[in-house]
Structure 1
């Protein structure tokens, strides 16, 4: 299901709930007026409590958005670090003979193609990496480590290239640890419960006496639904569908990423 479709459904559902609840309250208020019962005015303390609950929930929601955004940014930094480290290896390999360059770049291309096309969907759906990816990265490391440097240039490039492979391996491990959701279930329970309480409290203010009040209540509930959707979407550091978060590999290895 498309993320935009999820957002549209969530916002429409929130507005529909507010509309139905308001119409029911209007009908109840109308029946009370017909029986001669005057509606009670909203106590000042209730208005104050409603305001305070809204403020507290806004702070919690803001912290949740900031947390998932920071986690997504850190995950994307790890992807760029991994891709850049492998790219540096290909650049430093220019001191190698043509045959050794082709072999090393071919193995790196195989790793990148596997990451983009096989490993990324599994990482998004199952929150884990493949064993094959680790094997392909070990092949790249072996291409460098098992070759005896010939000449001063190769000797100077040997250790930095191994260091870059180590950086890529470390970034790969960080990518695996960041593949899961950022927020625990108890936080989601608090966010959803807080949304229900915050939206529910607006009905204690006797809304629905005019279309403007109804419109504002609907927009408020739609805003809460949008912010919750934002948290839900960012809670997946590498996205919930597709492999757009692997663009760093596509940019630095366009040929390898297109192998499929």
Structure 2
């Protein structure tokens, strides 16, 4: 933050120094015209900078939401593979582990997903998955086939844990610090710039100015609305987990 403040001070000081030096050198002419070179240059640069900042505020959340959506499918694929692997465990352990997987996925959809809008995952979800892994680890196995099946289930559950950690990271994802603030500041500068440059819009000229301000406000709101992957207009829905629950019904039970 200090570096940013120093950069702003240095930039303003550069403008003041340039104005002083060129005045002393008697170079150029005074420019007080709202349509003059100074106002035109500053206006075009402000517009360009606003578009750059606004693009970052939109593209970064869009990319984050798309990545988070893909990661949910990776996580549910790991859950489905674990469910398939659990079917090879001896009875009645296979059915119990599969039931635990169904309960966990249902919990994510019904209870955990609404919490992710605030950027947090439920500690209960992690506890459920840990408890399930502990049960699998403690299963008594007496044959090589059962031992291999247990190892396969644990391996698949490791993928589930990794995907869950990725989902937790996705839930915390936000645009770079200050981008939304800069978007608001740049938008305000665009709105008030004509007045700062000396123009005084009157009558019908206020209509396009008002329309521009309204559209800028909508754009800034949208940038804020999509800032987190699991809430707002681009929110990732639990479609992958719902589909996994449906697929569980088509997978044979344990023997």
Q: TM-score, normalised by structure 1?
A: 0.70
**Pair 1:183–1:244, CA change in 2 (3 A):** closer
Partner residue of 1:102? 95
**Pair 1:93–1:53, CA change in 2 (3 A):** same
Structure 1 residue 44 corresponds to structure 2 residue 37: yes
Task: Give the 5 Å matches for 1:113-152.
Answer: 113-125=106-118, 127-149=119-141
Q: Which residue, out of 194, 197, 203, partners 2:189?
A: 197
Q: What is the Cα deviation at residue 116 of structure 1? A: 1.9
Task: Tell me if structure 1 keeps the 8 A contact 2:117–2:230.
Answer: yes
Describe the SS at the equivalent of 1:178: helix
The structure that is helix-richer by fraction is 1
**Pair 1:180–1:207, CA change in 2 (3 A):** farther
Question: Which range moves more in the overlay, 42-51 or 74-83?
Answer: 74-83
**Pair 1:183–1:93, CA change in 2 (3 A):** same
Deviation per residue, 1:170-212 (Å, 9 max, x gap): 222222233235135533221211110012224448474674x
- 2-side partners of 1:88 and 1:205: how far apart? 67
Q: TM-score, normalised by structure 2?
A: 0.71
Question: Which range moves more in the overlay, 149-158 or 112-121?
Answer: 149-158
Q: Which consecutive residues of structure 2, in runs of 5 or more, have no partner in the other structure?
A: 1-32, 249-255
Q: Which consecutive residues of structure 1, in runs of 5 or more, have no partner in the other structure?
A: 1-39
Structure 1 residue 160 corresponds to structure 2 residue 116: no
Q: What is the Cα deviation at residue 235 of structure 1? A: 0.8
Partner residue of 1:63? 56
Task: Tell me if structure 2 keeps the 8 A contact 1:80–1:248.
Answer: yes
**Pair 1:169–1:47, CA change in 2 (3 A):** same
**Pair 1:65–1:205, CA change in 2 (3 A):** farther
- Give the count of matched residue pairs: 215
